[in-house]
Structure formats: structure tokens, C-alpha cells
């Protein structure tokens, strides 16, 4: 009986830890997406154009995204149009 209760508690704790890790990854992706968008707007304000690719932001605006943890979608449609930026947890 005690073993059964301990096993149930262990399973509940494992599920809670997994859910907390997923929430942390989702929040991290949101923070990374906001940082990329802020850097793109800063680039537009300073240089008068949005960057053509994410590499320009990482090289010139000191943005670092952990590509092992996050999938980044960056689609520039023109120098005067805000790029479509999405960051998702892997």
C-alpha cells in the first residue's frame, strides 16, 4: 500500500516538473521573440530599414537566441515593412 502511494506521488511530481519545464520554455520563447522584435524596430529607427535577416541582428545588435532550445522564423518582406518574427520552443 505504501509503495503504491509513493509511486503515485512520484508520478504526480514528475508530471509537475515536466509541466514547469514546458512553461519555462514557452516564456523563454516569448522573451526571445520580444527581444528580436525590439532589435528590429531599433534597427529601423537607427538605420531607416528593417534588417534582411536575423544574422544582421545577431551581429550588430547583440541578440543571442539559443537555437538548440528555440526555433526562429524570421521573414523579411521589405526594408520598410516589419518582418514576421516568431520564436517557438523546440
Confidence (pTM):
0.72
pLDDT digits 0-9 by tens, 56-75:
999 999 888 888 999 999 99
CA distance 82 to 28: 22
Q: Which range (9-13, 47-51, 52-56, 72-76) has the least confidence?
A: 9-13
3-state helix, strand, coil in the chain (%, to 5): 60, 15, 30
Structural domain containing residue 64: 2-89
Say if CB 89 and CB 46 are below 8 A apart: no
Say if CB 50 and CB 80 are below 8 A apart: yes
1 has a pLDDT exceeding 70: no
Closest CA to 85 of 67, 76, 47, 64: 76
If one compares 25 and 1, the residue with the highest pLDDT of the two is 25
- Residue 83 is placed in which grid cell? 518582418
Report the domain count for the chain: 1
Sign of CA dihedral 88, 67, 25, 6: positive
Amino acid at each position: 500500500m505504501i509503495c503504491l502511494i509513493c509511486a503515485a506521488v512520484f508520478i504526480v511530481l514528475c508530471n509537475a516538473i515536466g509541466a514547469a519545464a514546458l512553461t519555462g520554455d514557452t516564456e523563454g520563447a516569448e522573451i526571445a521573440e520580444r527581444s528580436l522584435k525590439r532589435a528590429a524596430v531599433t534597427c529601423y529607427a537607427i538605420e531607416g530599414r528593417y534588417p534582411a535577416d536575423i544574422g544582421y541582428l545577431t551581429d550588430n545588435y547583440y541578440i543571442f537566441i539559443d537555437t538548440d532550445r528555440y526555433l526562429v522564423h524570421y521573414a523579411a518582406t521589405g526594408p520598410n515593412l516589419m518582418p514576421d518574427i516568431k520564436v517557438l520552443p523546440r
